[in-house]
Structure 1
Amino acid sequence: MFTIEHEFDSTLVTLVDEGSPHLREDVVINAFDDCVTLEQWEPTTDRMMRVTLSLSQLRDLAAALDLPEGAYQLTRAPQGE
C-alpha cells in the first residue's frame, strides 16, 4: 500500500509494508525540484535514517531496475529525436 500527498514544495509518497509477518517500517519518499529523499525509521538505533538522491541518481536507479547485471552510463538523446 502507498499514499501520495502533494505539499507546497514537494510530493510525498509513503510506502507501507503490508507483507509477511516481519514487516519493515514505512518508507517516506519526498520528491523536491532538485533531489529526492528516502526516510525510514530504524528501531535498532532509534533514529530516522535518510538517503538523498540527485535527480540524475534517481534516473539511473529507475533505469537500473529493468536492466541485467553490468555497468551502464545513460546519455540524453539530442533535441528533436
Structure 2
Amino acid sequence: MFTIEHEFDHTAITLIDEGEEPRAEDAVILAFEDCVVVEQIDPMLDEPVRVTFSLSQIRDLMAALNLPEGVYPKK
C-alpha cells in the first residue's frame, strides 16, 4: 500500500509494508524540484535515516532497475 500527498514544494510518497512479519518501517520518498529524499525510521535508534539523491542519480536508478548486471557509463 502507498499514499501520495502533494505539498507546496514537494510530493511525498509513503510506502507501507504490508508483507509478512517482520514488517519494515514505512519508507517516505520526498520528491523536490532538485533532489529526492528517502526517509525511514531506524527501529534501533527510533530516529529517521535520510538519503538524498540527485535527479541524475534517480534517472540512473530507474534505468538500472531494468538492466542486467554490469557497468554502464554515462551516455
TM normalised by structure 1 equals 0.89
1:39 alignment partner in structure 2: 39
Q: Percent identity?
A: 61
Query: What's the CA shift for 1:35?
Result: 0.1
Superposed CA RMSD: 0.8
2:55 alignment partner in structure 1: 55
Which runs of no fewer than 5 residues in structure 1 stay unpaired?
76-81
Query: What's the CA shift for 1:55?
Result: 0.0
2:29 matches 1:22: no
TM normalised by structure 2 equals 0.96
- Structure 1's consecutive aligned runs of 4 or more residues displaced over 6 angstroms after TM superposition are none
Count, aligned residues? 75
**DSSP 3-state at the match of 1:66:** coil
Which runs of no fewer than 5 residues in structure 2 stay unpaired?
none
